[in-house]
Structure 1
């Protein structure tokens, strides 16, 4: 654990978990409100998120629930938040964005917790978020020294395999190291900031190209674009992710 981190006390853990239980029935509405006030107060962060926020709102809620689930397990909390911090690099997240998110998260929780909210609960949530944000920013800083936030790639082959499936081969501008079982998250020019995960369909190659078998799913923005709109010469972005 990073020496500067101060784990939550048993009292703080109980407070954040209890208050989260209170807001759980309105969790979906709370996340909508969170993004509304975040974009209103800090409009400069809107460009970090996809145009369609439905999936992003669900990810925020699941991430929040996971952090609270791990709040008394500091080793796994650090591991989870470190992964989030590295992952957020591809969205362009900066250290200065984290306080804004924390402020709006606490404000949203306060609104939906009602009478269960008080200064002690607010302090506990602020502490919990501060710990998570610190781990994320430090992990992102460490990752910056090791690899780019994303790899730009060009589609060099696109073959229709029928039944809504395409075999797509891309050539990254820089070598992209991976091993069997790894997955890659990809975005397309048609839906910026919308990323989906795909596994390479082969072992690493000497020429650094990667081939994916992509099935267009119903209402799938990225998969449909890759299958039906992409063509040789189209660019796409990839980030470095490991299968878990």
Structure 2
């Protein structure tokens, strides 16, 4: 229920905010993240106050009602809703936008699949899963160790930062045969949505969006071709295209 006029600015702020999750962020990137975080906090704090004063049929209003039932302190409840709203924006907008762009790029780079998907839309899910393995929107997941442990012969101490290289795992030849080949017919398997208690709650929605996008593209357009090679943002954790310029082939 956010105003559509706000979405471009929120998108830009999201791009800047996630610099804090980069593998080795620079000082300038962290400064951008700090500035974006402050503006996002102000935006969503105001939004929570507005929806509390004038509740509607929207997620934020429903979250407020749910939080109020659990937390008698209104200030703490509002803070909880703020964090949830911010998290949903960051988790959904950055990763899903990157996934959709990369999936379209892979389709354009493999034109033989355009006709295959158009002729058999049942192949779309396999194409999306392979895109998630081949070039996931998140290549690094960082965690803080809760206790001393030994992981595959590597000692990890409590409170140490551990960087999980998801992109490398997706190209592990011990798990995927010929891992550098894009093959939508291979048996699906990836960590693009994490796993266990950290499994992405938005995974079904992200998949549905990608399925709809591909079906509409191959069903409504004769074919797309790259106008010129795209550029990538200087990132490791969150893969993001800076442009994807195409023409009708």
TM range (shorter): under 0.3
Normalising by structure 1, report the TM-score.
0.27
Q: Which structure dedicates a bigger proportion of its chain to helix?
A: 2
Normalising by structure 2, report the TM-score.
0.26
